[in-house]
């Protein structure tokens, strides 16, 4: 089954709002085995809507609109839908009653704007809204299903989950689609493409691959279809195993995993604590680690040693070491990691020092040069990286790479 | 001038990625006086692309695509464009040279996938990509301008700002639109709407207002149109002055200003240094401050004092104070700020301790309760805030609010 999404709203066309509704619906419909083939955003103007519905119905069996159902005068979708489906708009007493109960429960008074939300096209099936007054609507015409949902994200989501998804499951025979995303770090998109070229070329035709890069992380998404769920799962598992055999050392997780959560869980399970010594990342690693609820179970804290003075005073890095080797060096990152371990009394420590840019680069240590060390007990592992020219991305890559190195150390691999 | 955006990418259609590219382009084109009338997302499949370009060209004079230009085999846009514009794809030696320089500078080796990025349609004007290998392309056909940009957000943005926007300004007569954005903190959207109700109601009809909220920050964007630029600027200046008279204490900057940059510049100008003592923000404030190039001029570093042990050991917070008042208290935040000031030898310090959530809240100190202190010399200013229930937003709000307090202290206001 194919679907098209139509987002109605001027706020998206002027970039004031990012279209998260479409992302939510696309993901949820995909999980149901409904492929979204197009997403269209148009202005909330009466003249646009019928043509877009007409076009969509030539390509999809399910046409889903969001937005344009609010109580204010600039929301015209409802009347356009009524006209498009040759319907009259009339008062739905049941809906009016629900709206009254909803507003009274919140201590409000029903005005004519709210009451107007009970004026609905005669020939639609109402999809009740439990968290607002704009109702969802289900229409059928020439074997095409049209659904209109409000644009307020939490209202739209609630109607989708409670009303629309169950109806779609009941009324249509939906195919099986399965997605698996492999999360990797430490390799560029083009190097990855080269590495998995052969495997990719031999993928069965019902399984497709997508590369999803972001700074420090490259996600590989496998999407498979088959009418037999078990066979598909088996087939995907086989392909995943082959892929893992090729790119194993770069993999840090799957699907919705986050590196900071994975490393955090490893620390918690082993009963270990962590501290940080951050120079060029300036607090970014701490921010990632503490974005995970419950991080206090294993995270003690850190020193943001931005100046050399703090590297020496707070981490015990010898001024002579800085003088001799420079602040961005193997020697300094080792002393930083050791200092954090001892002074912050943790089992593991992570230290980073680098040239984030745009200034500060030299011929021998250009912008992007970054030393990362992991210390545990009396063992320190360190490595130098050459990221890029962009300050923000260098910081992001350094933080992700440091967590990836920590994960490998916690696993006992290097 | 009307524009249509076409986002090419399966990752948007399955909801794995939110279409932030479209939001960015819609906002930027609007600023240039170009109205986006439709945004369409389609799959990266050869059969889709020509029809969508054709449709868009019937409604808009500028058709802008993003995505589908990567080096991997699932990116087909380039070949579709070549076919659509009756062009051959051939090697562009100048682009190949740039790609080589780009990859070598990063210590990489040019493989055939990278080199393939220099294969470009003959009849396009190349919009060089400074931060990647996928080039932007400008085509003209039957008085319609078509532009293809890569889908990686930072590459797309850089090409837009450095290459595309200047060409659009030069080559088309665009209407006069002027935007002024006032940046505020410390006030909710609904409280702001109430506060400026009268002013907003009296805005001239050629000036419109938009509220752009994000955690900790509320931006107010004024957009004015007029065929006389001088008159428009004058009119906008008058309205801004009236607005400033009402909301002055909440304003921290204008347009592209960033709070971390403003406070950084104030510190630099005054020759002052800063240190941090972060508990619940976990490094977020340090990350914001060090995201600004040259932060080492004024930022010495900080202590991420996530555990109470580190609050005591590294900042000198008395265990008795923590025991008596709790880690989230005026007393503790004062000792944290004083400790950072003395131990990190800075002129100013910022300290934050709070309950970020979701766990850790109590009746007296519910999730969101956050103490922030600014210390300078022997003076400490502190305040308690009650943010909300969402961990990520609480951390973001605490960091922004701390910088806003620092700015006020640096100005000598409270």
**B193-223 tens-digit pLDDT:** 889 999 999 999 999 888 877 889 999 989 8
Show residues of chain B in contact with A18, CB under 8 Å: 18-20, 23
Poorest-pLDDT segment among A107-121, A336-350, B125-139: A107-121
* For range B328-347, the mean pLDDT: 98
For A13, the closest of B39, B131, B280 (CB atoms) is B39
Reply yes or no on whether the pLDDT at B136 is more than 60: yes
Dist CA B28 CA B35 (whole Å): 10
Which pLDDT score, from 0 to 100, does residue A75 have?
A: 66
Reply yes or no on whether the pLDDT at A73 is more than 60: no
Q: Where does CATH 3.40.980.10 sit in chain A? A: 2-171
Is A8 strand, coil or helix?
Answer: strand
Instruction: Name the minimum distance, in Å, from the CA of A193 to any CA of chain B.
Output: 6
Q: Where does CATH 3.90.950.20 sit in chain A? A: 259-412
Dist CA B270 CA A359 (whole Å): 22
Is B389 strand, coil or helix?
Answer: coil
With an 8 Å Cβ cutoff, is B347 touching chain A? no
A293/B359 CB distance under 8 A: yes
Reply yes or no on whether the pLDDT at A16 is more than 90: no
Say what percent of chain A tops pLDDT 70: 98
Show residues of chain A in contact with B101, CB under 8 Å: none
pLDDT band at residue B356 using 50, 70 and 90 as cut-offs:
very high
pLDDT band at residue B414 using 50, 70 and 90 as cut-offs:
very low
Residues 6+ apart with CB under 8 A from A191: B108, B111
Reply yes or no on whether the pLDDT at A279 is more than 90: yes
Which pLDDT score, from 0 to 100, does residue B109 have?
A: 85
For A193, the closest of B71, B152, B305 (CB atoms) is B71
B37/A43 CB distance under 8 A: yes
Instruction: Name the minimum distance, in Å, from the CA of B170 to any CA of chain A.
Output: 22
* For range A232-257, the mean pLDDT: 96
With an 8 Å Cβ cutoff, is A199 touching chain B? no
End-to-end CA distance of chain B: 47
Q: Where does CATH 3.30.70.2860 sit in chain A? A: 176-254
With an 8 Å Cβ cutoff, is A306 touching chain B? yes
Residue A184 tokens, joined: 């990797």
pLDDT band at residue A414 using 50, 70 and 90 as cut-offs:
very low
The answer for A 268-297 residues in CB contact with B (under 8 A) is: 276, 278, 280-287, 289-291, 293-296
Mutating which of B70, B290, B349, B399 best tests the A interface, going by the most A Cβ atoms within 10 A?
B290
**Segment holding A66, helix H or strand E:** strand A62-66
Show residues of chain A in contact with B17, CB under 8 Å: 23, 212
B108/A280 CB distance under 8 A: no
pLDDT band at residue A104 using 50, 70 and 90 as cut-offs:
confident
Contact between residue A33 and residue A174 where contact means Cβ atoms under 8 Å apart: yes
Show residues of chain B in contact with A359, CB under 8 Å: 293-294
CA of A294: which chain B residue's CA is closest? B359
Contact between residue A399 and residue A281 where contact means Cβ atoms under 8 Å apart: yes
Contact between residue B273 and residue B300 where contact means Cβ atoms under 8 Å apart: yes
Which pLDDT score, from 0 to 100, does residue B302 have?
A: 98
CA of A211: which chain B residue's CA is closest? B72
With an 8 Å Cβ cutoff, is A372 touching chain B? no
Residue in the structure block whose two tokens are 């991305």? A393
Reply yes or no on whether the pLDDT at A238 is more than 80: yes
With an 8 Å Cβ cutoff, is B54 touching chain A? no
Q: What is the ipTM of this complex?
A: 0.82
- CB atoms under 10 Å from CB of B54, counted, come to 11
* HSE-up (13 A, CA, CB side) for residue A359: 7
- Omega of the bond prior to A328 within 30 degrees of 0, cis? no
CA of B72: which chain A residue's CA is closest? A193
B12/A27 CB distance under 8 A: no
pLDDT band at residue A54 using 50, 70 and 90 as cut-offs:
very high
- Omega of the bond prior to A78 within 30 degrees of 0, cis? no
pLDDT band at residue B288 using 50, 70 and 90 as cut-offs:
very high
Instruction: Name the minimum distance, in Å, from the CA of A311 to any CA of chain B.
Output: 9
CATH no. for A259-412: 3.90.950.20
Residue B395 tokens, joined: 């951390």
Q: Which residue has the higher pLDDT, B295 or A30?
A: B295
With an 8 Å Cβ cutoff, is B73 touching chain A? yes
Reply yes or no on whether the pLDDT at B151 is more than 60: yes
With an 8 Å Cβ cutoff, is B71 touching chain A? yes
Mutating which of A154, A273, A306 best tests the B interface, going by the most B Cβ atoms within 10 A?
A306
Verdict on whether the full-model pTM lies above 0.95: no
Q: Which one of A10-19, A302-311, B16-25 scores highest in mean pLDDT?
A: A302-311
Average pLDDT, chain B: 93
CA of A357: which chain B residue's CA is closest? B293
Reply yes or no on whether the pLDDT at B324 is more than 60: yes
Which pLDDT score, from 0 to 100, does residue A298 have?
A: 98
CA of B74: which chain A residue's CA is closest? A210
Show residues of chain B in contact with A290, CB under 8 Å: 280-284, 304, 306, 356, 395
Which pLDDT score, from 0 to 100, does residue A228 have?
A: 87
- Closest Cα partner for A354 from A259, A406, A261, A285? A285
* For range B235-250, the mean pLDDT: 97
Reply yes or no on whether the pLDDT at A72 is more than 70: no
Show residues of chain B in contact with A393, CB under 8 Å: 154
Residues 6+ apart with CB under 8 A from A388: A367, A368, A394, A397, B106, B131
The answer for B 375-404 residues in CB contact with A (under 8 A) is: 391-392, 395
The answer for A 313-332 residues in CB contact with B (under 8 A) is: 313-314
Contact between residue B224 and residue B178 where contact means Cβ atoms under 8 Å apart: yes
For B359, the closest of A278, A285, A294 (CB atoms) is A294
CATH no. for A176-254: 3.30.70.2860
Residues 6+ apart with CB under 8 A from B202: none
CA of A289: which chain B residue's CA is closest? B282
- Closest Cα partner for B66 from B3, B140, B142? B3
Reply yes or no on whether the pLDDT at A413 is more than 60: no
* For range A377-400, the mean pLDDT: 95
For A302, the closest of B18, B25, B304 (CB atoms) is B304
For A189, the closest of B13, B71, B313 (CB atoms) is B71
Q: How many CB pairs under 8 A join A and B?
A: 285
Which pLDDT score, from 0 to 100, does residue A125 have?
A: 97
**Antiparallel, parallel or unpaired: β B369-376 and B348-354:** antiparallel
Show residues of chain B in contact with A302, CB under 8 Å: 283, 303-304, 306
With an 8 Å Cβ cutoff, is B114 touching chain A? yes
Which pLDDT score, from 0 to 100, does residue A154 have?
A: 86
Which pLDDT score, from 0 to 100, does residue A114 have?
A: 82
Residues 6+ apart with CB under 8 A from A240: A180, A182, A222
For A211, the closest of B27, B72, B281 (CB atoms) is B72
Dist CA B325 CA A222 (whole Å): 53
With an 8 Å Cβ cutoff, is B19 touching chain A? yes
* For range A206-232, the mean pLDDT: 89
Q: Which CATH number fits domain A2-171: 3.40.980.10, 1.10.10.10, 3.30.565.10, 3.40.1260.10?
A: 3.40.980.10
Which pLDDT score, from 0 to 100, does residue A259 have?
A: 97
Which pLDDT score, from 0 to 100, does residue B413 have?
A: 53
């Amino acid at each position: 089954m194919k679907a098209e999404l139509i987002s109605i709203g001027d706020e998206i066309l002027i970039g004031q709002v990012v279209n998260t509704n479409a992302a939510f619906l696309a993901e949820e419909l995909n999980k149901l085995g409904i492929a979204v083939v197009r997403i269209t955003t148009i202005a909330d103007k009466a003249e646009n809507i019928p043509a877009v519905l007409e076009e969509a119905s030539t390509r999809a069996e399910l046409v889903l609109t969001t937005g344009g159902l609010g109580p204010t005068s600039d929301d015209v979708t409802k009347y356009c839908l009524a006209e498009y489906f040759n319907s009259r708009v009339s008062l739905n007493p049941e809906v009016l009653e629900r709206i009254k109960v909803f507003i009274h429960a919140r201590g409000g008074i029903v005005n004519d704007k709210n009451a107007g939300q009970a004026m609905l096209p005669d020939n639609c099936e109402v999809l009740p809204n439990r968290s607002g007054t704009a109702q969802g609507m289900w229409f059928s015409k020439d074997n095409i299903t049209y659904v209109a949902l409000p644009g307020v994200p939490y209202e739209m989501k609630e109607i989708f989950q409670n009303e629309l998804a169950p109806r779609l499951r009941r009324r249509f025979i939906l195919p099986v689609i399965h997605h698996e995303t492999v999360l990797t770090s430490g390799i560029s998109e083009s190097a990855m493409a080269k590495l998995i070229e052969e495997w990719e070329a031999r993928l069965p035709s019902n399984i497709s691959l997508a590369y999803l890069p972001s700074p420090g992380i490259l996600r590989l998404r496998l999407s498979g279809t088959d009418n037999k769920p078990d066979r598909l799962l088996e087939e995907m598992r086989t392909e995943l195993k082959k892929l893992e055999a090729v790119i194993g050392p770069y993999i840090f997780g799957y699907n919705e995993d986050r590196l900071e959560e994975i490393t955090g869980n490893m620390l918690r399970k082993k009963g270990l604590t962590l501290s940080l010594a951050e120079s060029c990342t300036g607090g970014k690693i701490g921010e990632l680690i503490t974005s995970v609820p419950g991080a206090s179970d294993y995270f003690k804290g850190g020193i943001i040693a931005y100046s050399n003075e703090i590297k020496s005073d707070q981490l015990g890095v010898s001024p002579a070491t800085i003088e001799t080797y420079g602040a961005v060096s193997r020697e300094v990152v080792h002393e930083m990691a050791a200092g954090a371990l001892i002074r912050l009394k943790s089992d593991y420590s992570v230290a980073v020092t680098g040239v984030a840019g745009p200034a500060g680069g030299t011929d021998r240590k250009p912008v992007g040069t970054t030393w990362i060390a992991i210390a545990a007990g009396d063992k320190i592992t360190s490595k130098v990286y050459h990221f890029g020219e962009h300050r923000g991305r260098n910081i992001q890559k350094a933080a992700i790479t440091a967590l990836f190195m920590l994960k490998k150390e916690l696993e006992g691999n290097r």
